[in-house]
Amino acid sequence: MSEALIVARGLEKRFGPVQALRALDLEVRAGSTLAVIGPNGAGKSTLLRLLSGLTRPSGGVLRVGRNRGDRRSRRGQVGLIAHATFLYPALTARENLILAARLYGVANPSERTNALLEEQELTGVAERRAGGFSRGMAQRLSIARGLVHDPEIVLLDEPFSGLDPRAASRLAERVGALRTARRTVVLVTHDLARAAELADETLLLVRGESVALPSQAGRDAAALERHYREAVE
């Protein structure tokens, strides 16, 4: 049984009068993939922002990664691939990646950048400014950026939205590759079929609280959908 790489106990996040997350308990084992599903406003993105170290919890305990330490060590072990691409439009693809590599203290920024560009099939447009990229290209670049430091934990926030089928299946392959590489993945998605396909465990969030799902429901898309509808209505 591998260790739990993400542990949350009573995790809370308040924004003024609104409680985005309430008393969340969570455990994600190293090397496993967790799908987080739920309606809009459920707190899914908030959860990722907490896990990535962008935001501080309002209450509860959160341990992410191998050190018991502070948010900074958390940020070093986590790669976040969110809605926003974090890309600078005025910089080229290569420059964006080199910047990210240096922000994460990667040993050989240019080497790593070349490898990532190749992996994401962006070598041809490496010297083009990111501002001119299509949605698909920008997303591939933002994935490369999120993985620049080869993080142990990868967080993806609704990466499938807005992608054409080809790009979507390429992305699904990519997530699968992360699993093969024994990375710990937390995937927020509205696509229940993908969740069932890619995840080992599923977390259903409704209005900031986790709703219990029967253990095997996560692997069956139809069952997942049924439970989802029940919980939301």
Write out the residues near another protein by the rule CB under 8 A. Answer: 12, 14-20, 22, 40-46, 49, 52-58, 72-73, 75-76, 78, 80, 82, 84-91, 95, 99-100, 102-105, 145, 207-209
8 Å CB contact between 160 and 194:
yes
Backbone torsions φ then ψ of 27, nearest 5 degrees: -140, 125
The pair of three-digit structure tokens given for residue 127, joined into one six-digit string: 């010297």
Residue closer to another protein (CB basis): 131 or 222: 131
User: CB 178 → another protein: shortest distance, Å?
Assistant: 18
Residues found in the chain: 233
User: CB 5 → another protein: shortest distance, Å?
Assistant: 16
CB atoms within 10 A of CB 232: 13
For residues 224 and 141, give the distance between their C-alpha atoms in angstroms, rounded to a whole number: 31
Residue closer to another protein (CB basis): 82 or 196: 82
Residue closer to another protein (CB basis): 31 or 38: 38
User: CB 214 → another protein: shortest distance, Å?
Assistant: 23
CB atoms within 10 A of CB 84: 9
Q: In 3D, which of 223, 167, 161 has the Cα closest to residue 196?
A: 223
Residue closer to another protein (CB basis): 16 or 124: 16
**Structure-derived torsion over alpha carbons of residues 183, 10, 45, 82, reported in degrees to the nearest 10:** -30
Residue closer to another protein (CB basis): 40 or 180: 40
Q: How far apart are the first and last CA of the chain?
A: 36
Residue closer to another protein (CB basis): 138 or 223: 138
For residues 219 and 195, give the distance between their C-alpha atoms in angstroms, rounded to a whole number: 8
User: CB 216 → another protein: shortest distance, Å?
Assistant: 28
Residue for token pair 């429901």: 217
User: CB 7 → another protein: shortest distance, Å?
Assistant: 19
User: CB 152 → another protein: shortest distance, Å?
Assistant: 13
Give the SS3 label for residue 63. strand
